[in-house]
Amino acid sequence: MGKIYKMNSNKNLIFAVTHGRTGTTMVTEVFKIFDNVRSEHEPEPNYASVFPHVKSDPRNAIKFLEKKLSTIDSFDEENYIETSNVFGKGFLIPLLRMGRMPGLLFLNRDFRETARSLYVRGSIPVRSKMGRHFSADPSVPGSLPIFSPESLSDYQMCFWGVLDSYYRQLQAESVYKKEGGCYCWVNASDFHDFEKAVSIGSTFGLGVSDKEYAKKMHSEIVGVHHNPNKGKRNTSEVSAFSEEIEVIDRVAFYDPEFVESCLSSKYLSSDVVSYLRQD
């Protein structure tokens, strides 16, 4: 990865590679059932605050990550989890170049439901303040390639953003398979099951010393609706099926293998899969 920086640390780092509206807030809370863990969602220093600058020049990620790692290393806990959805969109590769290989949580949700949630919230890649701070930009190298993004509807931009995160997950998995990194593919629903949650934690070297107490904590956490969508945009005007087909068609001119990965996943809506499989 062309290492350019090394910071000594014994911390067990676990970061999410995902898009917003995938259950990160709830997942953050569930990780608190494990021993000797500090689990955070979007703490300071916050990736989102510098992300626009990182998209302009990825070298800006290095200085930010130095500060982030220094902050993390100041904590007493041996295990550090952070579920910010911005990390995987511009900070993972710089972190790998710095010689750190965190555990990765590839967190997903149905692509259409995620895109709808982003649209309702008004978090539109490139076009809204929230979108500029939390979503990738198709004009920036390393993003999922697509032509004429300026002609896409707001919903299509949201859908593209969700696909872009999946694109980065697949890229990260490829690197980790070669380098021997630790990662796990999950849905937010997996964390609603206590035993599954414990199993996911064990993948990253986490454990619970008091299982009954951890189970009680878990029950209380999953019984709460975390971070409900308070957006006011209406999706009734969105023709999700046809708009998603158009996005996928535009992407296929650049990366048909990625499109095939989407079709083989369980996250693309069945009507889209059925239509494209016919072709």
Task: Take residue 156 and report the two structure tokens written for it.
Answer: 């299509």
Q: How far is 161 from 20, CA to CA, in rounded Å?
A: 10
Task: Take residue 157 and report the two structure tokens written for it.
Answer: 């931009």
Please name the residue ranges forming H helices in the chain: 24-30, 47-56, 60-73, 92-97, 111-121, 129-134, 154-179, 194-203, 211-222, 240-252, 256-264, 270-278
> Which CATH number is associated with domain 12-234?
3.40.50
Domain parsing of the chain, residue ranges: 12-234
- Amino acid 229: pLDDT: 86
- Amino acid 253: pLDDT: 98
Q: Which of 118, 39, 48 is nearest to 83 (CA)?
A: 39
Q: Cα-flanking dihedrals φ and ψ of residue 186, to 5°?
A: -145, 160
Residues in the chain predicted with pLDDT less than 70, given as ranges, are 1-9, 279
- Amino acid 241: pLDDT: 97
CB 166 within 8 A of CB 266: no
The pLDDT tens digits of the residues spanning 128-145 come to 999 999 999 999 999 999
Task: Take residue 123 and report the two structure tokens written for it.
Answer: 């978090």
